[in-house]
Structures are given as C-alpha cells and as structure tokens.
C-alpha cells in the first residue's frame, strides 16, 4: 500500500482500467455522467475593473463508465459590455472578432444550452441531484458539472449573470473543481491543465485556451482520475440549501 501511495503521489500509478471493463473502472463513482465546462471570456493584457464576459461556451458529456465523450455543446457568445475584443484576447484564445459578432448574447446561449441539457437528459436518462438514487428509477444516472478551478461557474458566469440581471440555471450552482480534486488525490500542485496532463504522461490535444479543446482535455483528465481510483465528488456549491440541485427525471418524456 505504501509503495502504491508513493507511485500515486509521483503520478506513476497506472490503473488496470484499460484491461478491465469500463463498469469496473467506474465502480463506486457517484456520477454516471459528467458535463465538463471551460469558458473563454473577454480579457485584456493590463489590469482593469472590467468584468469578463463569456465569448465561448463549450460543454462535453463524459460517460464515467467508458471514458467516451457522448455529446457536445458549443456556441460563440457576443459580448455586450465590451463588444470589441482586445488583441491580447484574440491571441490568447484564437477567437476572432467575426466569430463573436456572429455569436449570440449570453441569455440566448443559456437558453440553447438548457435545450441541449434537456435533450441529453431524455436520451441518457440523466438526473441532476446530490443523491444518485434520488426519487427516480434505478435506470436514472446522476450527473455533475466539472470545471478546472472554480473560476468558470463561481466567478465568470455567476457575476456576468448578476451584472446583466440574467437568470442563471440552478443546476450550474454546484460543480466539481478538477484542479482541487487532482491536487488532493495525487498530492501535487499542477501547473495548469496542460501541466496536470503532462505529469500523468497525457499529451494535450488541440489548442490551449480554446474552450472546446480545454473541455475535451479536462474530460480526459477526469477519466484518468477515475481510472486511477479517484471517486469524484462535488467540491463547491453556491446554493444555500443542502439539496443543491434536484430536477425532474424527464424519463417519462
């Protein structure tokens, strides 16, 4: 056990999940599905008082039994407060002025995102709740949101919706911070998402600071944690009540 713990801290532990079934790899997981989010937002090279606005809204649905991304959502969002992107922002994210000009305002994006959520709930029998059993049938599979740090849902979306007086879906009030989870499980502080992947021998696929590519790679990291024996749990909740998200099963629809 001590040797295994040491190997895990060094990032050398390799799960035998590849050789066993996905069901065994996911044994003990609270969530049958994870939805990974990684927003890109307006930014500037210099410090200022300007609040970030989301300009890319991606989400990927990860099956925790197979490690397969089964569905994706992606939209470019048109910033309203500072509609012209800085050169710094375009260079960092690769997102062009034309892409955001042709995007939709955040309220429309959130509406489309909820339609996607409803669609996958029906198709995959997904529920959002703290209790994987909930009040639904045994076929229902619990789902949680995953981000790299608390910034996406705890800062960026939260305060943008507040500034613009937009209704933020309640299901986005709780999530798993994979950076904090990674740090606790491997007992090592990662140097960013790419650094965390590199430490585990995983090559980043795509372009860094592309929201969709970052989401896909975060999902790959989540799968690796699952395969290494980490049971993913909610790390942050903005809700005041203990049962922070309960929604209908939608199984009858």
List the catalytic residues. 40, 209
* CA 136, 141, 144, 145 torsion-angle sign: negative
d(CA 38, CA 62): 14
Is there a contact between 212 and 36 (Cβ–Cβ < 8 Å)? Answer: no
Give the pair of three-digit tokens for residue 140: 């229902």
d(CA 205, CA 199): 15
Q: Which helix (H) or strand (E) holds 74?
A: strand 69-76
Is there a contact between 58 and 74 (Cβ–Cβ < 8 Å)? Answer: yes
d(CA 129, CA 74): 24
Output b/e per residue, 28-43; b: 16+ Cβ within 10 A.
ebebbbbbbbbbbbbb
């Amino acid at each position: 056990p001590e040797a295994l713990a040491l190997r895990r801290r060094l990032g050398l532990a390799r799960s035998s999940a590849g050789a066993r079934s996905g069901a065994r790899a996911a044994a003990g997981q609270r969530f049958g599905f994870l939805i990974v989010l990684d927003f890109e937002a307006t930014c500037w090279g210099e410090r200022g008082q300007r609040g970030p606005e989301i300009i890319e809204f991606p989400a990927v649905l990860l099956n925790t039994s197979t490690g397969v991304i089964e569905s994706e959502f992606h939209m470019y969002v048109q910033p309203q407060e500072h509609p012209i992107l800085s050169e710094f922002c375009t260079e960092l994210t690769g997102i062009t002025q034309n892409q955001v000009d042709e995007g939709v305002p955040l309220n429309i994006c959130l509406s489309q995102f909820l339609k996607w959520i409803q669609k996958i709930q029906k198709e995959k029998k997904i529920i959002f709740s703290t209790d994987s059993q909930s009040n639904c049938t045994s076929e229902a599979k619990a789902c949680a949101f995953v981000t790299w740090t608390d910034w996406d849902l705890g800062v960026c979306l939260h305060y943008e919706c507040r500034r613009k007086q937009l209704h933020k879906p309640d299901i986005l009030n709780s999530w798993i911070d994979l950076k904090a989870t990674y740090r606790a499980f491997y007992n090592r502080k990662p140097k960013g998402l790419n650094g965390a992947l590199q430490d585990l021998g995983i090559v980043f696929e795509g372009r860094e600071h592309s929201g969709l590519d970052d989401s896909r790679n975060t999902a790959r990291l989540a799968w690796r944690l699952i395969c290494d024996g980490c049971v993913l749990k909610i790390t942050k909740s903005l809700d005041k009540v203990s049962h922070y998200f309960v929604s209908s099963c939608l199984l009858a629809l």
